[in-house]
Chains A and B, each alone.
Chain A
């Protein structure tokens, strides 16, 4: 830690000296305000403002607010945003000025040949690298599984991001695990983003305004996860008039509604989604039971999930805005069996639920044109519950009754508060600083078993609860970052984050420097390099490649240290016209990553999870290529990644694979994705996605061998040797490659009253490739299980 304080002091001193030098420059004033959509009043995130004379510019923050300090005198401002008409304002700047600008969405602009030069931090001119913004309109055009558009599935198509097995919603970013992604919904972390075992995510595209993925070069304001930040922002709601829509597909129905509560002041946005697979499957189950079961037997069961998103925004004044957003979603699997015979009555009831509850209250305040603050209070909960009840009653000479009730519970509750400041002291510096504190309450895994048996007048009973103790931990962080325009061609983004994590007896500190450098070689060509350190104090334990609700979130403890990573990346960015090209290479190391020990599982032990896992290290390196076209009739991207991801567990007491390195489960050498959509006219557009990935890894014993017994328990065996299956190393087998082509077409129509309807026809896995979900041995054969064959789907959407 001693070295850490020295690093903090050095960075602060450097920042102070640079500011002091620039303070003596000429008189400057600040232009600030919000940029919104003229029709909906929706704030625009990452919209650009450029002063043409000086070439200075900025972008709006996550709340649509911008601030730009300029030298006094004549200014020519250009407000622009992809797909929107550019607004120009020319005037003499003599004092601090507030300008709220409303931009007009023009669909033809998206179909046009080029975009105005963007100041977006993620593009050629910005310092930010290893980040991608995906327009929600583009996400909505991608052909989707069962017609259900999904944000996470779209992110999986980007270079550097890999999916797990077929259908999984897990994200594996630059060699990181699925728990190393901070998934933020309006700034609030969501622990389990998976519905339906990971086939769908909790992000309902209808409720979403903007999605940004950071894979590296992390700004200091982000922390607490090693591998990525997925920043999802919900719609605020239209402040002028009511709008909405409803959609019905094969699996789910959705609706959304937005509008003003008080025109121009208070808006709301609500969206809901529910699957009805359970409703459709009831007749099938009834039919199957009627066919197979004997008299007196009845059964029912089903599965569904739902999401509810809501947001209310109130504008008090030009200086103050309040946002309240709320999300709730659950998955529910249920089954009931009942048998009634002359002398036997038996009942079985199973309920399995898991879901998230997220709430956030956010206050934006503009102290002055140069200083903006966002204050947030958040609550997030993830719960997982399994309940099994069995009753058997024999009616005979000796009436007997057996009752068994088993419950398994797992819960996380987080309460957090944060203040984030944005300060624009002069044209060369965009400074951000802030602090956050989180109180975690974990109930990792608690099981309750109740057993009662009555036989005549005798009675036996067990009522026991076992599992991990509740754990309360605290996490806090403070950060400072500056986006510094050094010269017209050189720009730096330097930051420092200090994180503190307190478990019951231990306090862990982490000082995390962040640095990004951009050298602009020409207007459309730049080189970038970055370095970022991250730490993470929560871990997810998972035995499988698929996302199960049984995946257990656990905190760092006195024995399990927080994970840490160091990532270095460099790349070249080129935007000759409407196509953005980038090539990035990265090298990442990770410490204190967790894996289950050999033979361990989340089941079957009364002892704590800490005994089941080992701490080790990992490293990953790779090259990513991206060509993205966001405008024109043809839009989409081509992404390719070559990468290698390894793990090694060689610390004493934490040995896995006898200390030798092994490939991570999700190590994939090649990953290619091509996504394209083409708009023939306003009525018809088509889209296609092709994905290819090297198979993921698994552990498969390839030989049976006959060996002697171990030493310590030798006395237990009669025969001197024993045939056993022989697994040579962890993740020694690579599953067959994954490939898939999806096709989709949208038929759109606009009615005279301005309402729209869209009919979407999609085909998932168009050439019916059997992709591996699971490979296992059955007798003398190796069997591959595939879960999604060719799947056509149809959905109908009506918007008003």
Chain B
């Protein structure tokens, strides 16, 4: 009996501890590639549209060519309509963008302007045609109401330039047109001695104002392990002050000192809802933490395919110091 007991125990333990893995057939609706179309209509900037094919997740994604090799660029076409009229020249392919896993098409004679309604259509042999529309928002209106004292920060290491904290009071005036999102980013251009050249940097800031707290995007900042509630740009919506002015305070937490600072200001943008949701989901996708994290749903508004078409109108508000 004894001679059998050890193998028996081992066999039973092996049974208990055995996890079985096997490849299974995927059963789902969508397995074929679709067209991916993505673009941002930004006021004052050339209008470019990126086109690629999607790659089914069980096919290889390592080769960047997989996203474009099935696209027949000779017979395929991207069309752009602005306020109902097709742009005067056909959108042209910029072949140098192949390396970015997308084909880039440029509307050479069109620069988005506030209030434009843009429709994009794309058709490529072997793919369902796709279309998507957006409205370019109106320009934001923001002014600097007041500036606080410049408070010198302790230097972190010897030889470092001086850095300061500055509190600013800002006022945004909303046109009341529709629910929209604002994106605020402080920027500084300063002389960066180690490189011997000017350097542009997005500055971090803090604010306890309610407009930064009650949004889905606000959670992004608090989930960031590194920044301790500092924001490198943040969204807020006009739902609290639609059609009115709203004044709020922010604290710039680390501004290069006046001896190197060339330019200081804010990039304030009105962003349409599609671009806001895409931006939010894209940021979460980039910051996915671990195996245990919930999956991130990426926002897509392209009919018949995948991708994003959003728009924003941006204004530069300079700080004088």
Binding site for B on A (CB under 8 A): 146, 250-251, 277, 280-281, 284, 543-544, 595-607, 611-612, 652-658, 699-713, 715, 719-730, 733, 736, 770, 773, 775, 777, 780-787, 789-792
Contacts and interface: CB of A to CB of B under 8 A. Distances in A.
A250 B282 contact: no
Contacts of B102: 706, 720-721
A724 B292 contact: no
A611 B223 contact: yes
B61 A727 contact: no
Contact of A704 (B61, B277, B295, B308): B61
Nearest to A787: B19
Nearest to B57: A702
B86 interface: no
Q: Which of B59, B67, B286 has the most CB of A within 10 A?
A: B286
A710 B283 contact: yes
B284 interface: yes
B122 interface: no
Interface in B259-278: 269, 271, 275, 277-278
- Which 8 A/B pairs are nearest by Cβ-Cβ distance? A699-B295, A710-B279, A599-B284, A710-B282, A706-B52, A601-B293, A706-B101, A703-B54
A596 B55 CA distance: 28
Interface string B226-264: 000000111100010000000000000000000000000
B296 interface: yes
Contacts of B104: 720
B20 A789 contact: yes
5 contacts: A284-B13, A600-B293, A721-B102, A728-B30, A728-B300
A599 B13 contact: no
B283 A789 contact: no
A725 B219 contact: no
A437 to B, nearest CB: 34
B22 A280 contact: no
Given A653-B214, A721-B101, A784-B24, A702 B40 contact: no
A284 B10 contact: yes
B185 interface: yes
A711 B312 contact: yes
A791 B58 contact: no
B233 to A, nearest CB: 5
B215 A652 contact: yes
A384 to B, nearest CB: 15
Contact of B290 (A601, A709, A715, A777): A601
A707 B34 CA distance: 13
A462 to B, nearest CB: 16
B285 interface: yes
A785 B21 CA distance: 5
A713 B231 CA distance: 11
A707 B23 CA distance: 30
A652 B214 contact: yes
B310 A711 contact: yes
Number of chain B interface residues as a range: 35 or more
B52 A721 contact: yes
Given A652-B214, A712-B185, A770-B22, A543 B59 contact: no
Given A604-B289, A653-B214, A712 B222 contact: no
B235 A658 contact: no
A792 B14 CA distance: 12
Contact of B233 (A597, A712, A736): A712
A705 B12 CA distance: 46
B67 A723 contact: yes
A705 B64 CA distance: 11
Nearest to B298: A726
B243 to A, nearest CB: 18
Contacts of A653: 214-216, 218
Contacts of A611: 219, 222-223
Nearest to B202: A715
Contacts of A597: 216, 219, 284, 294
A712 B57 contact: no
Contacts of B280: 710
Given A600-B294, A700-B295, 20 more contacts: A544-B292, A598-B281, A598-B294, A599-B288, A599-B294, A601-B289, A604-B225, A653-B214, A705-B36, A705-B306, A706-B52, A708-B40, A708-B50, A712-B183, A712-B233, A720-B100, A721-B101, A726-B306, A784-B22, A791-B16
A787 B20 CA distance: 6
B288 A703 contact: no
A643 B99 CA distance: 49
Nearest to B309: A708
A699 B294 contact: yes
Contacts of A250: 12, 16
A782 B296 contact: no
A37 to B, nearest CB: 38
A251 B40 CA distance: 61
A466 to B, nearest CB: 11
A701 B59 CA distance: 13
A728 B297 contact: yes
